[in-house]
Amino acid sequence: DIQMTQSPASLSAFVGDRVTITCRASQRISSYLNWYEQKPGKAPQLLIYDASSLQSGVPSRFRGSRSGTDYTLTISSLQPEDFATYFCQQSSSTPFTFGPGTKVDIK
């Protein structure tokens, strides 16, 4: 199975800050990497698919990128509604696997 790691596990930030979350796969996943946001008691929501494609309806402050084996989710200017947990997920091969999550809270 492909193992997904994420860093940091949690972070505190101010509204307006630029936030970066990194995900790494244990094997090559050819940019089949997705990012989700999950708020407490709610289902995850797809933000980014194929490493860098913005899902329809998602604000443009969310950006996904890839550098080698590292995949990054960047929120350019953190908004109050962005305080949540973010998960990466590889869809390159089954079993699909998720990162452990990064909790973003208010500083």
Partner 1 sequence: QVQLVQSGAEVKKPGASVRVSCKASGYTFTGYYLNWVRQAPGQGLEWMAWIDPNFGGTKYAQKFQDRVTMTVDTSISTAYMELNRLTSDDTAVYYCARAPSDYYGMDVWGQGTAVTVSS
| Residues contributing to the site for partner 1 (CB under 8 A) | 32, 34, 36, 43-46, 48-50, 55, 87, 89, 91-92, 94-101
How far is it, in rounded angstroms, from Cα 21 to Cα 51?
A: 13
56 versus 67: smaller Cβ distance to partner 1: 56
Shortest distance (Å) from residue 16 CB to partner 1: 28
59 versus 100: smaller Cβ distance to partner 1: 100
Instruction: Give the residue among 31, 35, 16 at the shortest CA–CA distance from 69.
Output: 31
Instruction: Give the residue among 86, 75, 96 at the shortest CA–CA distance from 25.
Output: 96
44 versus 72: smaller Cβ distance to partner 1: 44
Per the document, the length of the chain is 107
